[in-house]
Amino acid sequence: MNAADIRKKYLAYMEKQGHAIVPSTSLMPDNDPTTLFTGSGMQQMVPYLLGESHPKGTRVTDSQKCFRAEDIEEVGDNRHTTFFEMLGNWSFGDYFKDEQLTWMVDFLIKEVGLDPERMYVTCFIGDPNNDIPRDEYTAELWQKLFKKLGIEAEIVEMGTEEQGAEKGMGTGRIFYYDASKNWWSRAGTPDNMPAGEPGGPDAEIFYDFGTEHDPAYGENCHPNCDCGRFLEIGNNVFMEYIKRADGTFAPLPNKNVDFGGGLERIAAAANGDGDMFKIGLLWPIVEKLQSASGRSYDDETDRYAFRVIADHIRGAVFMIGDGVLPSNKEQGYVLRRLLRRAMFYATELGLSDRTLEELVPIVIDLYMDVYPELDDARSAIMREVVTEEEKFHKTLERGRRELKKRIDATGHLSGEDAFVLFTTYGFPLEMTIELARDHGIEIDHGVYRDEFEKHRTLSRSAAEGKFKGGLADHGEKTTMLHTCTHLMLAALRQELGDDVHQAGSNITAERTRFDFTHGEKVERDVLDRVENFVNGAIKAAAPVKMVQMDKEEARAQGVEGSFWEKYPDTVNVYTMANDDTVYSQELCGGPHVENTGDIQGVFKITSEKSSSAGVRRIKAHLE
């Protein structure tokens, strides 16, 4: 069964179980300052996992496109990719463990055709320090489900990954692991979770490809071993706890289910081959590379290059399709790095300067039925890839000259030199290594890695200090300022006209930064009236009510909204009004106070200035 069939079958199967199918969101997440990309299927679901009502109800399902930049260096083995699709289904206070695990076993065996004898599962061992019990219910449920399949499933206690390697699997099929493996929250393990954060145990499903264990990964193999024998194909998260202010845990009033299953991994299991690059969504790219280069994927010396190129061009096509352009910062920097690494490995295979250009149509054709935006952006994607290929080869020549100059001056090339070539000239380390070897020089990888880690740490700190947009968190103060920002926009439209719309926002617990469409400076007397409007709405203690509406109906009724194309067909419309006055009515997907009277403090606008052509920026806070 190919991956496209699995995607289609999964969505149809979950729809039969009462789930509404929702579209994938962009690779660039909204209202999540913690990451550059959508890296998991649950990112768009966070507000609903935290208690908001989803427009489509309490059961939803999707196939979410994801990208993980941190895996770029991992690509080249049989199971790591930067871009992937995550099949997901969610219960927002509806069904729980029995239904979820029963459906997953049924789907994987009956619909996909996986061999149950090759399936191994895990569950949570418990956390005595936080008074969180062992998830015995899930372990016993796994046993019942396997017994129905005619399989006697022994439960084995593993603990940590390291303990698993020491103990080995024995005759086990169900394994208890600690919180580092079988607990989920946005903050990681229970100890790391802040007050108010939900989380819970998870139950993972692994597929055994029967390959020989590599002792480099530990004395014994087990499901969480990285040797390649086992591949995780699904994770069922049971979000049933919330951390209290005193550090203890309480049951959540509404228990949620969050399932994520890697489409490519499930397809590899269906193929009976642990090499994900042999599935139908990647193999056509490899085939094209084989025919163009005259080399074989079966040759271990070339296989790494085939995998890197296939993964990176697929990720790059999706990124450009979602509006990312190559640059030297943030998402654009990651895109440029993908393309340049792919181009370098293309030269390693002896391929032409325009190799990636020839791969773009293959990727688009594989996906355009499900993601038609790729076909719509075909010419733009081709243009960006061609432009980057031309720039790369100019960069290659400049870098070669700089590398030769450094070698001629010192007789060697240091790890620091390699890092400078990377940051200044966009030279991937692989290129520097190969060119240095041509001069008989070996580079100190350790020094390069140290410099790279320093660079990455600084970059992360900078990103945390200046997230691009949306809400820094869903805390009380941030939520109050978010609600104030809606009121401020309503006042600006009242003062300046209906051509004023949101152009971006950045809201923390300390202040709101709000961009809006307007071509002229807003005078202080106008800003004072805007302040008075917001503070008047706060004093009025107007209820904040949310109704779900058809998106086009909301637009026709004059509901204010920006970025309409990012929202689903059914939208949340928030209205702040009392008996006499409607203060604000706007489309939104974020958190709000329940009543404007819950906003604590006096709203103050501290600055107003130009942000870009035709866009102004206001900063304000509550004092």
Q: What ranges do the domains of the chain cover?
A: 3-278, 283-465, 470-622
pLDDT in tens, 336-371: 989 988 998 998 899 977 889 999 999 999 999 999
Helix (H, G, I), strand (E, B) or coil at 574: strand
pLDDT in tens, 306-343: 999 999 999 999 999 988 888 877 888 889 989 988 99
Q: HSE of 597 in the Cβ direction (CA atoms, 13 Å)?
A: 7
CATH architecture of 3-278: 2-Layer Sandwich (3.30)
Mean pLDDT of the chain: 89
pLDDT in tens, 555-613: 888 889 876 666 667 788 899 999 888 999 998 877 889 999 999 999 999 999 887 66
Rounded Cα distance, 493 and 313, in Å:
44
Q: What is the mean pLDDT of residues 469-493?
A: 87
Q: Which of 260-269, 409-418, 454-463 has the lowest mean pLDDT?
A: 454-463
User: Highest mean pLDDT: which of 325-339, 432-446, 519-533, 583-597?
Assistant: 519-533
Give, in order, the Cα–Cα distances in Å from 189 to each of 121, 178, 186, 461: 20, 9, 9, 22
pLDDT in tens, 87-120: 999 999 999 999 999 999 999 999 999 999 999 9
Q: Give 416's contacts (C-beta < 8 A, 6+ positions apart).
A: 447, 448, 451
CATH architecture of 470-622: 2-Layer Sandwich (3.30)
Rounded Cα distance, 258 and 59, in Å:
10
Q: For the stretch 397-426, what's the b/e string if a residue is b when 16 or more beta carbons lie within 10 angstroms of its beta carbon?
A: eebbebbeebbeeeeebbbebbbbbbeebb
Give, in order, the Cα–Cα distances in Å from 186 to each of 38, 283, 479: 14, 34, 19
Rounded Cα distance, 209 and 59, in Å:
33
CB distance 215 to 165 below 8 Å: no
pLDDT in tens, 249-307: 999 888 999 999 999 999 999 999 989 999 999 999 999 999 999 999 999 999 999 99
Rounded Cα distance, 170 and 166, in Å:
11
Read out DSSP for 180-199? HHHEE-TT-SGGGPPTT-EE
- Residue 32's pLDDT band, with cuts at 50, 70 and 90, is low
Neighbours of 91 (CB within 10 A): 22
Instruction: Report the candidate in 124, 53, 135 with the shortest Cα–Cα distance to residue 94.
Output: 53
Is the pLDDT assigned to residue 464 strictly greater than 50? no
Task: Supply the pTM of this predicted model.
Answer: 0.75
